[in-house]
């Protein structure tokens, strides 16, 4: 399993996208998890360009009008999507890793800065873990 993760602080122009697609291809990533994309919407084409491939799946969480937005993408050749759960500060993707022949869950987490929301997130994720 190979996962690339980055708090990108806005996808901005082409430089960041080029950096990401270079990294994803160099590492042969199965998953790409981004936090703070500062985008309220995504499209297939945008994701394909980010990864440099069309054979990918993605789930976006737009946060609050783009603030605290995050996205998880995966390579369909490596991972078979089953379902997903999105909540405040996380995206969980449930599926099957083809090479390892195992069911697995990949959770992209972006915790809030304040302790109250953090505790809530920890509780939510603990419950989620117990149910999977």
Partner 1 sequence: MAEERKGIRGHSSQKKEMEGFNNFIETNGWVDISCVGKKFTWFKANGTTNSRLDRFLVSEESLQIWLAAKQYVQQRVVSDHCALVLKSCTKEWGPKPFRTFDVWLKEPGFTAMIKGKWELYQVEGNSISVLKEKLKLLKADLKVWSRSVFGCVESDKRRIEMEIENLDGEDNIYALEDEGRLRRLELFSQLGIV
Smallest CA-to-CA distance from 32 within 15, 13, 53 is with 53
Let me know the angle formed at the C-alpha of 26 by 15 and 54, rounded to the nearest 5 degrees: 75
Listed ranges 23-31, 47-55, 61-69, 81-89: which one lies at the site for partner 1 (CB under 8 A): 23-31
Closer residue to partner 1 in complex, CB, 27/44: 27
Q: How far is the CB of 84 from partner 1 (least distance, A)?
A: 18
Site for partner 1 in 93-112 (CB under 8 A): 99-100, 102, 104
Specify the DSSP class assigned to residue 8. Answer: -
Distances (CA, A) of 57 to 64, 102, 107, 122: 23, 18, 15, 27
Residues making contact with partner 1 (CB under 8 A): 1-9, 12, 15-16, 19-20, 23, 27, 29, 99-100, 102, 104, 115, 118-119, 122, 125-126, 129
């Amino acid at each position: 399993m190979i996962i690339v993760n980055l708090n990108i602080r806005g996808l901005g122009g082409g430089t960041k996208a080029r950096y990401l697609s270079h990294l994803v291809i160099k590492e042969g990533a199965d998953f790409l998890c981004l936090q703070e994309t500062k985008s309220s919407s995504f499209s297939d084409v945008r994701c394909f360009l980010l990864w440099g491939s069309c054979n990918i799946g993605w789930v976006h969480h737009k946060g609050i009008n783009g603030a605290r937005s995050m996205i998880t993408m995966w390579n369909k050749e490596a991972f078979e999507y089953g379902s997903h759960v999105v909540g405040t500060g996380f995206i969980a993707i449930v599926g099957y890793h083809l090479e390892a022949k195992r069911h697995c869950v990949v959770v992209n987490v972006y915790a809030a800065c304040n302790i109250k929301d953090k505790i809530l997130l920890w509780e939510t994720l603990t419950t989620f873990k117990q149910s999977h």
